[in-house]
Amino acid sequence: MRILRLDSSKADYELQKIGVCPAGVRVMKKKYEVIPIKIFKVPVTEANIIKQEMLSIGGDSAQASGAINHSVNYTDIILLGTMAQYEKFIYKLTEQNFDFLKRLSSKLKDILNNKEDIFLIGNDEYTLEKKYIMGIINVTPDSFYRGSRKSQYEVIEESLKMQELGADFIDIGAESTRPGALKIDEREEIERLKKIIPELVSKIKIPISIDTYKSSVAEFCLDNGVKIVNDISGMEFDNKMVDIVKKYAATVVLMHIKGTPRNMQDDPYYIDVIKEVYDSLEKKRDNALEHGIDNKRLILDTGIGFGKRLEDNYVLIARHREFLSLGCPLLLGISRKSLIGKVLDNKPEERLNGTSVLNTLGLVKGATILRVHDVKEACECVKLYNEFEKGVEYGLY
């Protein structure tokens, strides 16, 4: 005998191999994996009811020791149950007279089913079953990695090269957002893009993304055929951005940042980095939805290196999959960043191997899109990851 180390999404093969019928596979998958769910600040009366109800269906709920005797008023809880148990639990909560528990029932139902199968860029659909590469090109004199800086005459050639190497998207930036970078005027940013974007759109087949947080810059680019806005502020630095994105039915990358590029690395601090980044991205996502932007046009980015300590960056990568609960594809941008250099004591020009290692780990942890300087090597990461997934799925290795 052996212990199987497969999550429920990979359980089909082993169940089918022992002769379970298709209907049985569907039922058994729901019982296959315990899914821990953390809920914050639950009133202790409701917390004790939750624990009783979870125990009654074979699950459990962990809570503060003071909850049982009401020596505390609130407690965070961690639910431990399978999909089959959660389905029963959600129904049980709807029968309760407490408003908190009824709201919790609805929220649990949403979070357990909150996963799109596709996302949209322009009129094209992209499946979340695949992984994608976004190549980085900067028309700036001061981006942190020299290899990404291109003159307006080099951008077309570099973009065509990235497309040929396998990039799915090209991300163009005309203002550096490295730590300590100073803001440039929107007119200067547009001026840098005027002689690039129209020609680039006409010459490459893959979608182009504009890396900007200024609505006027985004509008210029979208008006000239760009399909994606990559906004480091998640549409918070410029309140007109949300209207521009909606107007052009653009896809938008909503990133977490603490502070601004100029001050974001001035002693950033988090009590609970996962919760704080998650709550921030949830707020940005909900703001987009409330303004009529299609959920299928939202991509989320935890903002590695943007107002984060070294340990924060690695925690966010290690627990990246948790952000899939927000129901959007995840973009991961770690290419040649200082979280590699601080560990390996090397310069951006020497961080390709470290980038490939972290990109691969990011794919395993749920990243959908890798934003990279080195397209060839990133595509190799994706190819090897895909083969690894086949091994997990079919028991080849």
Catalytic (active-site) positions: 337, 371
Count CA atoms closer than 13 A to 69's CA, side-chain side: 3
Burial class (CB in 10 A: 0-12, 13-18, 19+), 198: middle
The strand order across the sheet containing 35-43 reads: 35-43, 74-81, 60-63
Angstrom distances, CA of residue 344 to CA of 305, 341, 348: 16, 5, 11
CB atoms < 10 A from the CB of 180, how many?
Answer: 13
How far apart CA 372 and CA 335 sit, in angstroms, is 5
Q: What would the two tokens of residue 282 be?
A: 């949830």
The answer to whether 360 and 381 have CB atoms below 8 angstroms apart is yes
- Residue of 157, 148, 130, 117 whose CA lies nearest to 295: 117
